[in-house]
Every structure is written in structure tokens, then in C-alpha cells.
Amino acid sequence: MNNLFSNLLAMSIAGSVVVGLMLLLRPVTAKIFSARWQYGIGKMAIIFFLLPIFLFVRKLPLIQPVIESYPVEPLIIQKAPPTLPSSGFVDTIDTLAEKHLTLELTQATLLIWFVGAVVFAGWHLHCYLRFSKQLRTDSFLVSGDTAAATLLSSCKVALGIHSEVKLMMNPKITSPMLVGLCSPMILLPTSNLRELDLRLVLTHELMHLKHKDLWVKMLALFAGTVHWFNPLAHILRKDISIWGELSCDEALACDMSNEERKHYGEAILNALDNHSSMNKAFYSPLCESKKHIKRRLIRLLNVKKTKKYIMVLSILVILVIGATGLALGSSYIGNDIDNVSNVSVDDINSVTVDKEDYSNIDVKYLWPVTGYERITAAYGNHMHPVKKEMVFNNGIDIPAPEGTSVFAANKGTVVEIGDNEMDGNYVILNHGGGIHTFYSKLFGFAEGLAEGDTVQQGDVMGYVGSTGVATGPHLHFRLIIDGEYTDPTSAFASEDWSDDGIRRPGV
């Protein structure tokens, strides 16, 4: 449940970043780039709102450095004042409060989100049913032997559209419109049909069909339903509708002469839609309203073919915006792999049992995942991300991309290789002197590794994975001394740790 909520927030962050950058850059990009480019950015934002792309992209080696450049601020765990006496009763109350308040808060938040999404979806379903009923009641089919039907067939051939499209008339509408996702139909008004250039009208609506603009609107509506709490998701819905029309105009006007463009503009003016009560998420009209008509006509008359350097620049800007959204989304979810915030060494001490001074620990142990120094789950008690209860973490969790090499912390003998439901694939090394190290959640083992083998410090034993019970790829590393679990950080020199919870050798 918590993993669902984390992914939902990460998708909302990723989509919001794209929409925010889109709006921030709009004064500049609207003058430089095409309407199709603006529409494409909106489509990318919809994808980010609906799909957890960062879960796949964050595994790419080229993306990992970008992700790490947007770290999430660690949550500092407050230490209890040393003057307060500790008691078993107080400790029990604290543990129960932390457990149940956390669960109740998570469940309450998800319940509020679910109720909001149901209400939002229910309202739009009601609007759709009312809209459909209105169209069915007042519309009638145009006969196939009429000039309008023949013209529709001609326009379909010109645009390369082979699917069936019905042509209907409706006396209650003032603007031509395209409706229907699976069974598309073009509705024409009866009142001002003579004032319209029928070829331009049909070509415009068929262009919407070719661009699948109704599907884009539906996906934008679905994104608004899932992220009903995010105002940027609703801004995106309106933006998609506007730039979908501008993109359609641009595609049609690209090969038109100035006179033809003026004629097209007149057709738009004649088709101003006054049916503001209809939900425009369900159809694409020739012209929506007077509000954006001036900008639409200006862009229509000034459409130019995109130059090569503008095309290259537009691609670069798209990549930057997309990478930024993915990086921030990946940063959020990546640092929440086990639902435990990054903690410093002092924070580890504040929530775990006191370390004992084991003189037989070799402080020259090698960090098992080179290049990935952050701990997301410290040794000690914490809320388990899957079981949703307070558990004792008998090791530390080190997040890294799937497939990253896992090295032997010190010279030792492989005493066990196996897998189980909780730990997934694991390897246990015996280093002598009663010291064992344990490596689990592995994607796979080093080729040829077998029980009884002697490995040297730094030898590859396996690769980071998410086998067993895990919410993301990481290494679970344990240190066992004389049969008892010990804080694994005690195996590494204390000067290797910085105050922000990241192991940085040489600090």
C-alpha cells in the first residue's frame, strides 16, 4: 500500500515538473517552436502522470548520475532528550504510537485519494452519459448518396484514413465536432451549414481523428482523475485542448496559401461554439470559444515550415525537460526504496542498540557496492515497507541499480549459497574469528561461485537485485559476530562516514 502511494507521488512529481517547466518556458517556446511541439510536451506530461517510467529509466547507467544529482533531503530522526528516564512502558507506548499512527496516516491518506478519484470520475461519467444522451436524441445520419457524404470519402482518402467515420447532423449544436473513440462520427450543425466551407470542416475534424486527439483528451482526463489533488494536472487538461486545436490548424495550414488560410480563418469564425455547457473532454469542435480565437488566427496566418536548427533545438529542450522530470521522480522513489529515510551515523545510533566493541573486527573491510554509499534502511527497528509493522532490521540496505557488482568485504570462505522467500538470492562468507558477512536480494551470483570457495577481498560474488521481499533493487548486507547480528557499519572505519549519512572514504 505504501509502495503504491510512493509511486503515485513520484508520478505526480514527474508530471508536475514537466508541466511546470512547460508553463515557465511558454513565453519563449511559443514564439520559437511549433504548436505541434507544445502539444507533444503536453503528451509527455500525461505519460509521466500515468506511467512510473522512472522505475525503468533509473536502471539505465546514463541516467543514474543525473538521479543522484537531485538527492532528497534526509529526514533527521530526533533523539530523545538524555535527561528523560527510559522505561519499558514508555518504550512500548512510543513503538505502538509510531507503528499505528504511521499506518493510520497512510491508510487515511489513501482513502481520501481514492474517494476523491471516485467522485471526480463519477462526475465526469455523469457528464458523459448526459452528453451521449443529448447527441443520440437530436442527431440523425446523413445519407450516403449526398454530396456531403461523397466529400467526406474524398477527404478521408486525401488524409489516408481508412476507418469508418459516420457523418451526422444535429440541430442543437452550432459548431462541427468529432465524437466517439471507437466509433468516430462527425456532427454538423443545421443552422449555419451554408456559411461553412464543408471541405475545410471535414478535413479539420478528420485531422483530429488522424492525430487521435480524442484519445489524448481521454488520457488527460484520466490523469486528472488519478491526480485530482494536483492543480497542475487540471491545468494540463486545458492546455492539451488548446494546443490540440492549434496543432491541427498548423498541420492543415502548412501547405495553404495566404488566401486559403484567410478562408480557413473565416470558417473558424463562422463555427464559434456557444455550447459551453458541454464537456469538451468528450469531443473536438472546429472552434471551441472566443477566448483564444485571436491567438489561434494569428498563429494560423503565420505558420512556417520548421527550420532544421529549430528542430534540433526543440528536440534538445524536450530531452532536458523529460530528463528533469524523470530525475526528480526517480530521486523521490529511489531514496524511498525501503520506506526508510537516509540517516546519518549519529541517527543510526539513536534508533539502534548500542554498538559493542568487538576487537576482532577488521576496520579495513571493503564497502560491498562500490560507488553507491547511501544507506536507505539502517540497522535497528523501523517500519517494514511490505509487512507494515515495526521490525528489527538486522543489517543495512544499500540501493544501487540492478546488475551492479557486489564485492566480498574481506577474504573469506563461501559457507552457503541459496535463496529463500524473504532474502531472495544470498551468499554467506566466513571470515574467521567468528565473523560472517551476509549478502542478499541478489539478482544473480558470480559465474562459477560455489560453496567452499575461498574469495579474496574485492572479488565479485553476485549482482544487486530485488529478489525476495523488496520494493526496489538494493543490497541487504549483514554482519554476524559470534552468532549475533551486529551493526554492519562497525566493520568500516568511523572516519569513512560524513554527517549526511553517506559513506565517503577519506572524509
Residues 442-490 pLDDT 10s = 999 999 999 999 999 999 999 999 998 887 899 999 999 988 888 888 8
Structural domain includes residue 43 = no
Structural domain includes residue 423 = yes
Q: Is 217 in the same domain as 358?
A: no
User: DSSP code of 257?
Assistant: -
C-alpha cell of residue 3 = 509502495
User: DSSP code of 388?
Assistant: -
Lowest mean pLDDT among 221-230, 297-306, 324-333, 495-504: 495-504
Does residue 337 register a pLDDT over 80? no
Structural domain includes residue 462 = yes
Q: Is 363 in the same domain as 475?
A: yes
Taking the model in full, what pTM does it have?
0.58
Reported as a single tens digit per residue, the pLDDT across 262-282 is 877 777 776 665 444 555 566
What is the pLDDT, as a whole number, of residue 422?
A: 86
Question: Structural domain tally of the chain?
Answer: 2
- Grade residue 294 by pLDDT with cuts at 50, 70 and 90: low
* 296: containing domain: 120-243+272-302
- Grade residue 84 by pLDDT with cuts at 50, 70 and 90: very low
- Grade residue 66 by pLDDT with cuts at 50, 70 and 90: very low
- Grade residue 143 by pLDDT with cuts at 50, 70 and 90: confident
CA angle 222, 225, 227 (to 5 degrees): 110
Q: Is 293 in the same domain as 399?
A: no
Q: How far apart are alpha carbons 175 and 404 in whole angstroms? A: 59
- Grade residue 43 by pLDDT with cuts at 50, 70 and 90: very high
As a whole-number percent, the residues of the chain with pLDDT over 70 amount to: 68
Structural domain includes residue 189 = yes
Does residue 85 register a pLDDT over 70? no
What is the pLDDT, as a whole number, of residue 227?
A: 93
Q: Is 288 in the same domain as 422?
A: no
Q: Are strands 460-464 and 435-445 parallel, antiparallel or unpaired?
A: antiparallel
CATH number for 396 = 2.70.70.10
Q: Is 127 in the same domain as 230?
A: yes
The better pLDDT of the pair 60, 429 is held by: 429
Q: Is 375 in the same domain as 230?
A: no
Does residue 332 register a pLDDT over 60? no
Lowest mean pLDDT among 172-186, 250-264, 457-471: 250-264
Structural domain includes residue 311 = no
Q: What is the mean pLDDT of residues 188-215?
A: 80
Structural domain includes residue 88 = no
Q: Is 413 in the same domain as 282?
A: no
Contact by Cβ (8 Å): 461, 366: no
- The secondary element (H helix, E strand) that includes residue 478 is strand 474-481
Structural domain includes residue 171 = yes
C-alpha cell of residue 189 = 450543425
User: DSSP code of 418?
Assistant: E
Q: Is 453 in the same domain as 381?
A: yes
Q: What is the mean pLDDT of residues 307-330?
A: 73
Does residue 496 register a pLDDT over 60? no
Does residue 217 register a pLDDT over 60? yes
Does residue 181 register a pLDDT over 50? yes
Q: Is 282 in the same domain as 349?
A: no
Reported as a single tens digit per residue, the pLDDT across 369-391 is 988 888 888 888 766 665 666 77
Residues in CB range of 12: below 8 A, 6 or more apart = 49, 227, 229, 230, 233
Q: Is 380 in the same domain as 489?
A: yes
- Grade residue 88 by pLDDT with cuts at 50, 70 and 90: very low
Q: Which residue, 258, 155, 256, is CA-closest to 207?
A: 155
Q: Which residue, 256, 339, 338, 269, is CA-closest to 301?
A: 256
Average pLDDT of the chain? Answer: 75
Q: How far apart are alpha carbons 499 and 344 in whole angstroms? A: 6
What is the pLDDT, as a whole number, of residue 91?
A: 45
Structural domain includes residue 472 = yes
Does residue 405 register a pLDDT over 90? yes
What is the pLDDT, as a whole number, of residue 192?
A: 58
